[in-house]
Structure 1
Amino acid sequence: MEWFAAPDFWLSRLVFQRALAGLYVVAFLATALQFRALLGERGMLPVPRFVEQVPFRRAPSLFQLRYSDRFFAGCAWTGCAVSAALLAGVDGLLPLWAAMALWLVPWALYLSIVNVGQTWYGFGWESLLLETGFLAVFLGNDEVAPPVVVLFLIRWILFRVEFGAGLIKMRGDACWRKLTCLYHHHETQPMPGPLSWFFHRLPGPLHRVEAAANHITQLVVPFALFAPQPVASAAAALMILTQLWLVLSGNFSWLNWITVVLAVPALALPSDRGPGPDAPLWYEVIVLAVAALLLFLSHRPVLNMLSRRQVMNRSFDPLHLVNTYGAFGSVSRIRYEVVVEGTRDTVPREDSDWREYEFKGKPGDPRRWPRQFAPYHLRLDWMMWFAALSPAYAGAWFAALVERLLENDRDTLKLLRRSPFPPGEPPRHVRARLFRYRFTTWRELRATGACWERTYVREYLPPTRLARTAPRP
């Protein structure tokens, strides 16, 4: 079938595949380095406890069949290794069927992780990586030209990411319609980056221009993805520029980067490759069958986008094949942060020697400037932002975090930037207090050197000690 292949997109496919493999490496690396404290046998939300309560059909995962920390680590590091091989181009050296099988490995491994990841893996970009990674299985290698239908489905994902986000903004917070949300967003976003202070201090009219440009990029430009070239390439290029602007302004894990990756297949990058050999019949049949399935499943995110009760970041099937996306349907006007402290004093008082725990990414010491971590994902830091919005977001994991801090748990302390207590000398009490944070002004920055100013609001968790002295099994 001549129409099946898109020979003008050889290079676009190559760039897409290598960039996606790079994001897989980051995702698996973040999992391997953080899972023990979050999900391990002694973690805050242990996988064994989860799989006892949730059946396989609702959360298909290798870890439903067997779990141990060693097995989980092996899966995470295997995902890293296979993704690194894909990044190096090993799939191009294999037969078509073997290349497809190799791309299936990181998808299946990461699906197994996400489906038992609970709160720690409840972010939209997890499903986005899985949906994109599933399509990558059917994109082929150097034996065949890129299939038109798969390139179309990749654009369809990008359309839903951008258009869904645009709709949720217009239906959500009135400040998006008034073009004033960015008066607050750079300051109150989950994890500011090193340039966020400067973005926040841009003039008000420029913030309004930012918001208006965002609406155009998310509500108008996505339709141009399905226009003939060079219009589709221009639309994709504009989306890439917008995402790079967001990369500069904050830390959004790999959300911006995977959106950039999704835009690449819409670019008709110059290539000297010819049409290439005809695709084998079995490959065409599989690709068309998968495309039909994904188009059928797409009715659910379409209905969601059309609904006045549109929801963000929802998976409609346990395999995360077709999902709905969105971000920042509402924007906080005030930034709150939970500050966690411990003391060695036997009887905790207000004037005790309270020492603050420092997190890697979330604001803490007002003088410590935010760092760039994205596309790496600091899961605990992100959830601390949600916990500051409402204790309801903290659920069972916050109490478990406090318990592990009281034990000086090594794996938990690895998630932090610094613990104020040396090994062998854990705190006797831990407390949490809620503070209001705001970016300093230019004058305050010059006078104090601090990028943040914080004000005590209330007690978040009273001084707490271990309820037992025996070590946990």
Structure 2
Amino acid sequence: MEWFTAPGYALSRLVLLRLLAAVYLVGFLAAARQFRALLGEHGLLPIPRYLRYRGWRDAPSLFQWHYSDRFFAAVSWGGAALSAAICAGLADLVPLWASMLFWALLWVLYLSIVNVGQTWYSFGWESLLLEAGSLAVFLGNAKVAPPFTVLLLFRWLLFRVEFGAGLIKLRGDRCWRDLTCLKYHHETQPMPGPFSWYFHHLPLPLHKVEVAANHVAQLGFPVLLFTPQPVASIAAGAMVLTQLWLVVSGNFAWLNWLTIALAFSALRLPGGTSGSRSAPIWFEVLVLLFTALVVALSWWPARNLLSREQLMNFSFNRLHLVNTYGAFGSINRIRFEVVLEGTEDAVPTADSVWREYGFKGKPGDVRRRPRQYAPYHLRLDWLMWFAGISPSYARPWLRTFADRLLAGDPATLRLLRHNPFPDHPPRWVRAVLYRYRFTTRAERRASGAWWHREPLRTYLAPMGSLDS
């Protein structure tokens, strides 16, 4: 079936799949390095406790058969090794069926982590990575030309990511409609990057240009993905540029890089050919069956796009196939930060000296310039941002976190940048809510600080080591 293949997209497929494998690699590395403190047997939200109340139907995962920290480490490090091998080209060196098995294995391993990850894995880009990974199973390797229907499914995924985000903004905060949201967003976003201070201080007219350009990128270009070439390539290329702008201006884990990878389903690159133009009949049948499944499952996200009560970052099934996406329907005007502190005093008093724990990514020390961590995902830092918005986000795990600091737990301390008690744990730990804002240019010149902060109230009353 000549219509089935699109040999002109062979190089585009190669870039898409290598980037996707690189994102999988980052995801598995983040899981391997952070799970013990967050999800392990003695973590803040232990997986064994979660699985006591969740069966296969609620949380399909390999860990339903067995859980141990050693097994989780094997899954995450094994996924990282396989992702690295695919990124290096392994999937193009093996038969087509083996390539499909490799991608299916990546999907199963990461699905197993996400479905037991609880609030630490409640981000939209987890579902996005899984959905893209399921599509990659059927995109083929260098042995066959790319199936055209799967390229269209990738474009449909990219359309939902961008168009859904655009609609949620127009239906949400008024500042998206009057073009003023970026007056606040660069300062109040979850994890500012090294250039966010400079973006924040752009003149208001340029902020309005940013917002207007965002509306064009998310509501205009996605429609053009389904037009003939070269229009589709121009639209996809423009979307890549807007994603790179977001990479420079903030830290959004792998969301931007994964969106860039998806764009190569429409961005046709010159050169590159497949080893074989024809695909085996069994492969064509599987691709068409999978395409039909995605079309059927698309009913729910398509209906959601048209709904006035549009859901944001929602999965309609536990396999995370064909989801709905979107972010920042509302923008915070003020930045609140929860700061953890400890003291060595036997009994805390008004004169006690409290020393601050430093996080890797979230604002803390006002003189420390924000760092670039994306595409790596600092899960604790992101949840601390949500904790500043509402205590309800932190209620399930914050007191346990404080207990781990009182115990000097090594796995928990490895999640932090700075431990102010290197020799022995503190006697008491508390949390204080601060208001943060970027310094003005004059304040920055005078003090060298990137942030100005003021304490607001006690967020978590002092907890002593005897309380745990």
TM-score (norm 1): 0.98
Aligned to 2:258: 258
Q: Is 1:7–1:276's contact at 8 Å kept on the other side of the alignment?
A: no
- C-alpha separation in 2, matches of 1:159 and 1:88: 28
Alignment of 1:68-83 (within 5 A): 68-83=68-83
Tell me the CA shift for residue 143 of structure 1.
1.2
- C-alpha separation in 2, matches of 1:393 and 1:415: 19
- C-alpha separation in 2, matches of 1:41 and 1:294: 37
- C-alpha separation in 2, matches of 1:92 and 1:163: 32
Is structure 2 residue 98 aligned with structure 1 residue 98? Answer: yes
- For residues 13-50 of structure 1, what are the alpha-carbon distances to aligned partners after superposition, in whole Å with 9 as ceiling and x for unaligned? 00111111111110000000000000000000000000
When structure 1 is superposed on structure 2, of 161-170 and 265-274 the one drifting more is: 265-274
Distance 1:402 1:303, change over 3 A: same
Aligned to 1:392: 392
Aligned to 1:460: 459
Tell me the CA shift for residue 344 of structure 1.
0.8
Q: Is 2:142–2:275's contact at 8 Å kept on the other side of the alignment?
A: no
Q: Is 2:247–2:256's contact at 8 Å kept on the other side of the alignment?
A: yes
- For residues 319-348 of structure 1, what are the alpha-carbon distances to aligned partners after superposition, in whole Å with 9 as ceiling and x for unaligned? 001100001000000000001100010110
Structure 2 residue runs of 5 or longer lacking an equivalent are none
Aligned-partner residue type, residue 461 of structure 2: P
Distance 1:182 1:272, change over 3 A: closer
Query: What RMSD over aligned residues (CA atoms) do the two structures have, in Å?
Result: 0.9
Aligned to 1:338: 338
Among the aligned pairs, what percent are the same residue?
Answer: 65
Tell me the CA shift for residue 237 of structure 1.
0.4
Aligned to 1:313: 313
Distance 1:338 1:468, change over 3 A: closer
Aligned to 1:361: 361
Aligned to 2:325: 325
- For residues 394-428 of structure 1, what are the alpha-carbon distances to aligned partners after superposition, in whole Å with 9 as ceiling and x for unaligned? 121111111101101000000000110124x1111
Is structure 2 residue 137 aligned with structure 1 residue 137? Answer: yes
- For residues 347-403 of structure 1, what are the alpha-carbon distances to aligned partners after superposition, in whole Å with 9 as ceiling and x for unaligned? 101221210000000000100100000000000000000000000111211111111
Distance 1:272 1:460, change over 3 A: closer
Aligned to 1:207: 207
TM-score (norm 2): 0.99
Alignment of 1:70-469 (within 5 A): 70-273=70-273, 276-423=276-423, 425-467=424-466
Aligned to 1:45: 45
- For residues 137-173 of structure 1, what are the alpha-carbon distances to aligned partners after superposition, in whole Å with 9 as ceiling and x for unaligned? 1110111100000000000000000000000000000
Q: Is 2:361–2:381's contact at 8 Å kept on the other side of the alignment?
A: yes
- C-alpha separation in 2, matches of 1:160 and 1:40: 34
Tell me the CA shift for residue 242 of structure 1.
0.3
Q: Secondary structure at the match of 1:459?
A: strand
- C-alpha separation in 2, matches of 1:361 and 1:172: 28
Tell me the CA shift for residue 277 of structure 1.
3.3
Aligned-partner residue type, residue 300 of structure 1: W
- C-alpha separation in 2, matches of 1:413 and 1:273: 50
Tell me the CA shift for residue 10 of structure 1.
0.4
Tell me the CA shift for residue 54 of structure 1.
1.0
Q: Is 2:254–2:375's contact at 8 Å kept on the other side of the alignment?
A: yes
Tell me the CA shift for residue 51 of structure 1.
0.6
Aligned-partner residue type, residue 462 of structure 1: A
Q: Secondary structure at the match of 2:337?
A: strand
Distance 1:468 1:461, change over 3 A: closer
- C-alpha separation in 2, matches of 1:272 and 1:201: 44
Tell me the CA shift for residue 466 of structure 1.
3.2
Tell me the CA shift for residue 59 of structure 1.
0.9
Aligned-partner residue type, residue 153 of structure 1: L
Is structure 2 residue 65 aligned with structure 1 residue 65? Answer: yes
- C-alpha separation in 2, matches of 1:143 and 1:365: 53
- C-alpha separation in 1, matches of 2:467 and 2:253: 38
Tell me the CA shift for residue 276 of structure 1.
2.9
- C-alpha separation in 2, matches of 1:22 and 1:421: 37
Distance 1:328 1:272, change over 3 A: closer
Distance 1:468 1:317, change over 3 A: same
Aligned-partner residue type, residue 434 of structure 1: L
- C-alpha separation in 2, matches of 1:362 and 1:40: 23
- C-alpha separation in 2, matches of 1:274 and 1:127: 30
Tell me the CA shift for residue 274 of structure 1.
6.5
Tell me the CA shift for residue 76 of structure 1.
0.2
Q: Secondary structure at the match of 1:324?
A: coil
Q: Secondary structure at the match of 1:315?
A: coil
Tell me the CA shift for residue 273 of structure 1.
2.2
Stretches (4+) displaced over 6 A: none
Tell me the CA shift for residue 55 of structure 1.
1.2
- For residues 236-273 of structure 1, what are the alpha-carbon distances to aligned partners after superposition, in whole Å with 9 as ceiling and x for unaligned? 00000000000000000000110000001211101152
- C-alpha separation in 2, matches of 1:276 and 1:65: 40
Q: Is 1:433–1:461's contact at 8 Å kept on the other side of the alignment?
A: yes
Q: Is 1:7–1:275's contact at 8 Å kept on the other side of the alignment?
A: no
Q: Is 2:188–2:332's contact at 8 Å kept on the other side of the alignment?
A: yes
When structure 1 is superposed on structure 2, of 351-360 and 270-279 the one drifting more is: 270-279
Q: Is 1:253–1:374's contact at 8 Å kept on the other side of the alignment?
A: yes
Q: Secondary structure at the match of 1:108?
A: helix
Q: Is 1:345–1:428's contact at 8 Å kept on the other side of the alignment?
A: yes
Q: Secondary structure at the match of 2:380?
A: helix
Tell me the CA shift for residue 278 of structure 1.
1.2
Distance 1:429 1:277, change over 3 A: same
Aligned-partner residue type, residue 112 of structure 1: S
- C-alpha separation in 2, matches of 1:128 and 1:354: 41
